Amino acid sequence: MSPEATIKRQFGHRARLSLSPAAVLRADGQAHAARTMWNLLHAWWQMMPKEKRTLAHADAAIRQARQDIDFLAVLPAQAAQAVLKTYFAAWKSCWEGRADAPKFKGRLRAVMSVDIPQGRDLNITRVHRRWGMVNIPMVGRVRFRWTRDLPVAKHANRENRITGARLTKDALGWHIAFRVQTLETAPEPHQGPEVGIDVGITVPIALSDGETYEHGAWLTGKEQAQLLHLEQRAAQRRQSRKPGEPISRRLHRTYDRIAGLRAKAKRRALDWQHRTTTSIARTYGTVVVEALTITNMVKSAGGTVDEPGKNVAQKSGLNRSISGEAWGRTVTMLTYKTAQLGGTLHKVPAPGTSRRCSACGVTTPGNRESQAVFVCKNPDCGWSGNADHNAACNVLHLYRMGLALIPAAGRAVVRRAKRVKPATAR
């Protein structure tokens, strides 16, 4: 196999772990120790003068802390080094303006996680069709849900291997996220058609060829009623709690049940997004989407004390709906799935795509009479149709006109493609 015909691919794969009660306690202990190590590093950073905030001094500090504090010994040494590297990387991201400064991690709000930086410690084997086995340092051999092919220990090599993993705990239990590196055959260029995509709330995904992808509620009626009951119970128990009184175990259990239902809804939403984006990437060779600035779209309308906002409750509901559809995650999935299958994804400017008539090309205020119906106000046109389909056609039109956005110096720049003039007949 020639080097030109292969491509190195790095991706992550998340799987559910099946831990015994004793293993759960050991994993919880490691996660709490990792969080404590982060907080100790944060306190050390604030106390040290600027010239002593180096990786070598921090490494010496955590080694001494592991000797002085007994319960930190449950955290493997390599996992402690991973906490150190992650903390320094967080400061680097802050200095470059890509993130906020690192903060103290609270016990209840922080995500419980442990990093396994070396893949050779995992020793992955497949038991049968549904389960595999992985070795977790200082926890033991653990079963995990086998949902895709992974490089097992006896077949792993420099090109196809597990480079590391990360344990995370959510409301549904402990999971492991593998970091996988493979050498695969470069995909052939996708010969599928071009398609424009418009994302929305009523219709989550609408295509320029008239196809739509919709979904129902992520929770059943019974689960929604149960969630409402638990939220009301939690509110009542919060009101009955005296000021300064710690949260009771009953309230903690109620919070856990609420988190479990919300995690179940998120898992179903992820499954729908994966299935939908995979279907689109397999069908179309060129996918065009809008370059939306979602963070600006979900800003609060509360305003200030001097200038209060209008329709704050309605805007809050719209923000929740936009965040619930996770448009950015859909685009991210389409980006790597189209590349994996030989296709391409392009972004075009978003302004005006929902108000322009795809039939005559005229943008007139008031064209979109409702959320679902588009009626062109141009007296020479008068076209009417589905508003989402019209917007998707406009997205594809912008790409065919050569208006594509390319990232340059951290911002989007319009690129006009060179078009070849047709030869005139002589």
Enter the pTM of the model.
Answer: 0.81
Give every residue of the chain whose pLDDT is below 50, as ranges.
1-2, 408-426
Query: In what order do the strands lie in the sheet containing 125-126?
Result: 112-116, 161-170, 173-185, 6-18, 140-145, 131-136, 125-126
The number of beta carbons lying within 10 Å of the beta carbon of residue 219 is 16
What pLDDT is recorded for position 368? 64
pLDDT at 317: 80
Q: Which one, of 144, 169, 154, 150, lies nearest residue 18 by Cα?
A: 144
Domain ranges in the chain are 1-186, 191-214+264-426
- The per-residue pLDDT for range 315-357, each reduced to its tens digit, is 788 788 888 888 889 999 999 999 988 899 999 888 878 888 8
User: Is the CATH code 3.30.420 the one for domain 191-214+264-426?
Assistant: yes
Note whether 179 and 163 are within 8 A (CB).
yes
pLDDT of residue 273: 93
CA pair distance 328, 268, nearest whole angstrom = 17
* pLDDT reported for residue 309: 67
